[in-house]
Amino acid sequence: MKNLIIICCLLMTVVFITSCERETDLNVDPIKQLQTIFDPNAKSTITPEQIKARGQQYVYSKSGGGGIIVLDFEGLGNLDYINEFYNGGTSSQGFSGTNYGVEFGNAVAGIDADEGGSGNFANEPSPSTAMSWLDANQAFMNVAAGFTTGFSFYYTSLQTGAVSVYDGLNGTGNLLGTANLTINWNINCTGDPTGDFCNWDQIAVPFEGTAKSVVFSGSVGNIGFDDVTFGSTTPGGGDDSDGDGCEDEDDEIIDSNMEATVTIDGCDSGVVNRVTPGSCGIMMSDVIDVLEAGTYKNHGQFVSAVADVVNGWFDAGLITLEEMDAIMSCAGQANIPN
């Protein structure tokens, strides 16, 4: 009888523990079970060459007029600390971008998982790279030369956060302006095709005076930023209908040919289609389109015209020797004139 009582007590204990475990599972906050903005299980497959190509595509036009600068984080690696990427130096993975005199601390870039990175986001304003942080509750951006008028950006967030603008470096001095970030990560949106953080809202932080730093704060890995813009209260600095990095009011070709790579008469050169040097919104493919539509006495005259343009791109550092050869190979194969 005594043994039977002991067995019954043990059975009741097991049932009680199991019941508690089930209740605990049911009470878990579903938000905490979701992925962060960077998926720790995603395997990065994007190559350094592909990363550099992304950075080169808009390098000639991403700085707007009137002192407006837009940081889209393209050209940075996956889970790459930004560091001196925009300050004449390199990121933690050795990539370098345009020197805007902008330094980042603790900020990390990630590439959309659909594009070979580990970013758990979708519908980012300027695909396919965004900024967040991994090992602290804030990141900062310093602009030693200072900036005026305003600060703006797009963000997606699973938790609340804040962005604060100061007139001293590293978040020191006077607070010039601040914006509180609300939870918006999945409002009326879906992935493209994947990505849990799929909704992005734009935020403006107008202020008076000259700012020298911005502090981004919030939970680790729960907030993402894109098109960080200073000198304007509009992310990206204004409307850009064709997405070539040049505002419509300044765009020399408002409906640019935005094909991914340069093609000539159906021949894909494999060369990334970039903005041409010294222009605002004239893509390489725009120039090729004009050449294709030209009038020529013979095929050799067409090839010569392409060579003149391509040599100029090479001299300006827009393309490599290998890329020049690839474009010229397509020009040689083209059935122009018909």
Domain ranges of the chain: 2-31, 48-237, 261-333
The CA distances from residue 117 to 16, 46, 208, 291, in Å, are 45, 6, 39, 37
Its pTM stands at: 0.66
Q: Please say whether the beta carbons of 169 and 87 come within 8 A.
A: no
Residue given tokens 């305003």 in the structure block: 150
Gap between the Cα atoms of 165 and 254, Å rounded: 33
State which fold the 48-237 domain adopts.
Answer: Jelly Rolls (2.60.120)
**What pLDDT, on the 0 to 100 scale, is given for residue 276?**
87
Q: Describe the strand order of the beta sheet including 161-166 as a list of residue ranges.
A: 102-105, 138-147, 211-218, 161-166, 175-181
**Could you tell me which residue, 139 or 22, shows the higher pLDDT?**
139
Q: What is the mean pLDDT of residues 147-161?
A: 91
Q: Which tokens go with 247?
A: 């505002």
**Nearest CA-CA partner of 326 in 270, 273, 260, 266:** 270
Q: Which strand (E) or helix (H) includes residue 69?
A: strand 69-71
Q: Tell me the sheet residues that pair with 283.
A: 275
Among the listed ranges 5-9, 107-111, 204-208, which one has the minimum average pLDDT value?
Answer: 5-9
Distance, C-alpha 294 to centroid of its chain? 37
Among the listed ranges 65-69, 78-82, 312-316, which one has the minimum average pLDDT value?
Answer: 65-69
**What pLDDT, on the 0 to 100 scale, is given for residue 20?**
43
Give the phi and the psi of residue 125 in degrees, each rounded to 5. -55, -40
> At 99, which amino acid appears?
N
pLDDT classification of 77: cutoffs 50, 70, 90: very high
**What pLDDT, on the 0 to 100 scale, is given for residue 149?**
79
Q: Which tokens go with 332?
A: 């040689």
Q: Please say whether the beta carbons of 175 and 165 come within 8 A.
A: yes
Exposed, middle or buried: residue 180 (CB in 10 Å: 0-12, 13-18, 19+)? exposed
**What pLDDT, on the 0 to 100 scale, is given for residue 25?**
40
Q: Which tokens go with 8?
A: 């019954």
Q: What is the mean pLDDT of the chain?
A: 85
Q: Please say whether the beta carbons of 73 and 115 come within 8 A.
A: no
Q: Which residues of 297-335 are buried (b: 16+ CB within 10 A; e: fewer)?
A: eeeeebbebbeebbeebbeeebbeeebbebbbebbeebe
Q: What is the mean pLDDT of residues 243-262?
A: 81
Gap between the Cα atoms of 87 and 70, Å rounded: 14
171-195 pLDDT, tens digit per residue, is: 999 999 888 898 999 998 999 999 9
Among the listed ranges 158-162, 243-247, 253-257, which one has the minimum average pLDDT value?
Answer: 243-247
Q: Which residues of 203-223 are buried (b: 16+ CB within 10 A; e: fewer)?
A: bebebeeebbbbbbbbeebbb
282-327 pLDDT, tens digit per residue, is: 999 999 999 999 999 999 999 999 999 999 999 988 888 999 999 9
6-58 pLDDT, tens digit per residue, is: 444 444 444 444 444 444 343 434 444 457 999 988 899 999 999 988 887 65
Q: What is the mean pLDDT of residues 203-215?
A: 91
Residue given tokens 């509180």 in the structure block: 180
